[in-house]
Amino acid sequence: MTIRAAIYVRVSTVRQAERDLSLPDQIAQCRAYCDARGWQVVEVFSEPGASALDDDRPAFQELIFKATRIDKPFDFVVVHSLSRFSRDSLHSELYVRQLRKAGVELVSITQDIGTDTSGEIVRKILNIFDEHQSRENAKHVHRAMMENTRQGFWNGSRPPFGYSVETKERRGNKDKKVLVINEEEARIVRKMFALAVGTDGRPMGIKAIASYFNERGITRRGRRFSTGGVYDLLTSSTYHGLHYFNRRDSRNGKPRPPSQWVELLVPPIIDEQIFTAVQALLQSRNPKRVPPRVVNGPTLLAGVARCGYCGAALIQNTGKGGLYRYYCCSRKLREGATACHGLRIRMDRLDQIVVDEVTSQVLDPDQLHVLLTNYLKSAATQVDENKDRLSRMRQAHKDAEAAIVRLLGLVEKGLMEAEDTNLKERLVGLKVQRDELAQDIAELQKRITSGAPAITPDKIMKFATLLRDQLHNGPPELRQACARLAMREVSVKDEEIRITGSKAVLARAAAQGLDRVSPGVLSFVREWRARLDSNQRPLA
């Protein structure tokens, strides 16, 4: 009767498989061993680049599956050493028992330990030593990689999208590599952040960005963009120059505490302020915080209109089989008529009233010029007040910085988890607040030193004309974005509509141009509702 054998060979890394003769050498020695005993080699299972501490290896699992079949295709599994089979003592014991139950024996050509009681003890001891050696090697390699990162070098894995790897220096027989910007891919990354923050228009969502690139045949290293892939890119701090090594355990994928992360400074592709603004936008669209219809719907006053009686948001409702659309008090719809007096008004009617009032009372070029000029001049003439305000703003900026440091300190001490959603939202909010304060401080300093307004009549005319045109004739998405820019809140009662907005935002938009201002992330400082009786019109 012919004795049949299967050969299993393995190396730990792909580099070993590509550069070394380890796999062919293992196969040759195992074949010679089988030939010397007259065994027929029926199959060879080769595993390039797989850790023996993990049993989820394709070739290994195929070997176990075939060895335990009812037809029993072979009698022996031949390996160069027991460490090639497994370096986990528990896994090794379980699979040896599984093979023996199917009538198949594991044989090591370099470790003749036998199958008696003494041989079993020796095999188990060797498995324990193999596991210990593997974990010690992994520990030393990991420590070396951590130090390599601290010295500013890349550890050799595939670089993030937007970057390439190049050799900076050579130490002994090892190349020390760093990340450099891949301009072809970096252009895609910059465009992605520009679309997300709304540099050239209304900020786009993740799905819309993925569709934008896929429709134009732009790929991520040959693969189409997905919503998950776009989200990963938009939330990666690497792109503003700060990469973290050792964020996750490579064996189980679990996150490590930030105290174990290692910073690696890399060439930035985008500014940190743009990155922070995108994080704020992503959080503002989180369906757990804001209903998707408020973010993505074409409703003009979504997120702006509120019930004047209870303060709840006015949301879209339909009547007569969807023929008409209405703004309705969300609290009244949710809790019933006893919760709020509420109201119900045709959507097109309220939209028209609000747009007409804003364009006539605020966005008329002459009216807007007076409004903003008085706003800037009053700030410019009150030097002492401005200096006090500047001092308060600087203190607020320091407080925001200190709050960020305190939050990170809590994470480092293990009092908060790095992956905590509330922590992330708080950090992004503080960074947005810090960046907005920095921008306001710079503008106020400029006004104090120059004493001249940052806007001109020509800029106001162009801004007012463009914003009026977009509110009246723009596509639904752009109309909604412009409404959020021009208005902070529209409070609606049966006999009164109260519209408020920010002079500071309008002044900034007029100075910079509408195309350079993202309506998605606004800071509201002073309201432009100049008179108590403005924006009041009976609905009946």
CB-based contacts of 205, cutoff 8 Å, min separation 6: 285, 295, 296
Quote the pLDDT of residue 193: 93
Q: What is the pLDDT of residue 534?
A: 46
Decide if 159 is inside a domain.
no
In a domain, 136, yes or no: yes
Pairing of strands 489-492, 305-307: parallel
* pLDDT score of 514: 60
Tens-digit pLDDT profile for residues 195-237: 988 877 678 888 889 999 999 999 998 889 988 899 999 989 8
Tell me, yes or no, whether 71 and 211 share the same domain: no
pLDDT in tens, 5-45: 999 998 876 555 445 557 888 899 999 999 999 999 999 99
pLDDT at 518: 46
Tokens of 173: 């027989």
CATH code of the domain in which 262 resides: 3.90.1750.20
Residue 366 and residue 251 in one domain = no
Q: Are strands 4-10 and 76-79 parallel, antiparallel or unpaired?
A: parallel
Under 8 Å between Cβ of 495 and 540:
yes
CB-CB contact of 471 with 480 (8 Å) = no
- How many domains does the structure of the chain reveal? 3
Q: For residue 502, what are the β-bridge partners? A: 527
Q: Distance between CA atoms of 312 and 317, rounded to whole angstroms?
A: 15
Q: Is 292 helix (H, G, I), strand (E, B) or coil?
A: helix
Asked if 356 and 502 sit in the same domain, the reply is yes
Kindly state whether residues 358 and 491 are assigned to the same domain: yes
Sign of CA dihedral 416, 422, 425, 430: negative
User: Is there a single domain that holds both residue 374 and residue 508?
Assistant: yes
Q: Which amino acid is at 476?
A: P
Residues 333, 200 within the same domain:
no
Kindly give the confidence (pLDDT) of every residue in the chain, 540 residues in length, as a single tens digit, with 9 standing for 90 and above. Answer: 789 999 999 887 655 544 555 788 889 999 999 999 999 999 999 888 666 667 778 889 999 999 999 888 999 999 988 888 888 888 888 888 889 899 999 999 988 887 777 777 888 888 788 777 777 777 777 788 888 888 889 887 789 999 999 888 888 778 888 999 999 999 999 999 999 888 776 788 888 899 999 999 999 988 899 888 999 999 898 999 989 888 777 766 777 777 788 888 999 999 988 888 888 778 766 655 544 444 445 577 877 888 988 888 888 777 655 567 888 888 888 777 788 877 788 888 888 898 888 888 888 777 777 777 776 666 555 556 667 777 888 888 888 888 878 777 776 666 666 666 666 667 777 777 787 778 777 777 776 665 544 567 777 788 778 888 888 887 777 777 788 778 888 899 888 889 888 777 777 777 766 655 544 433 334 445 544 444 444 444
Strand 174-181, strand 242-245: pairing: unpaired
Closest C-alpha to 518, from 233, 290, 274, 207: 274
Residues 457, 313: one domain?
yes
The domain boundary residue, chosen from 88, 121, 142? 142
**Side-chain-facing half-sphere of 19: CA atoms under 13 Å:** 5
Question: Does 167 fall in a domain?
Answer: no
Residue 296, classed as helix, strand or coil, is helix
Residue 532 lies in a domain: no
469 and 334 co-located in one domain: yes
421 and 358 within one domain = yes
Evaluate if pTM is beyond 0.75.
no
Q: Is residue 478 part of a domain?
A: yes
Spatial contact of 408 and 252, defined as CB atoms under 8 Å apart: no
- Same domain? 377 vs 314: yes
Backbone φ and ψ for 318, nearest 5 degrees, come out as -120, 160
The residue among 220, 244, 270 that closes a domain is 270
The verdict on 203 and 341 lying in the same domain is no
Rounded to whole angstroms, how far apart are CA atoms 241 and 271? Answer: 9
pLDDT at 13: 63
* DSSP code per residue over 425-455: HHHHHHHHHHHHHHHHHHHHHHHHHH-S-S-
User: Are residues 255 and 385 located together in one domain of the fold?
Assistant: no
- Domain of residue 114: give its range: 4-142
Instruction: Give the end of a domain, one of 112, 142, 172.
Output: 142
Host H or E run for residue 47: strand 40-47
Does 42 map to a domain? Answer: yes
From the number of C-beta atoms within 10 Å of its C-beta (0-12, 13-18, 19+), residue 240 rates as middle
What whole-number distance in Å separates Cα of residue 81 and Cα of residue 33?
A: 13
Report how far residue 73's alpha carbon sits from residue 62's, in angstroms, rounded to the nearest whole number. Answer: 13
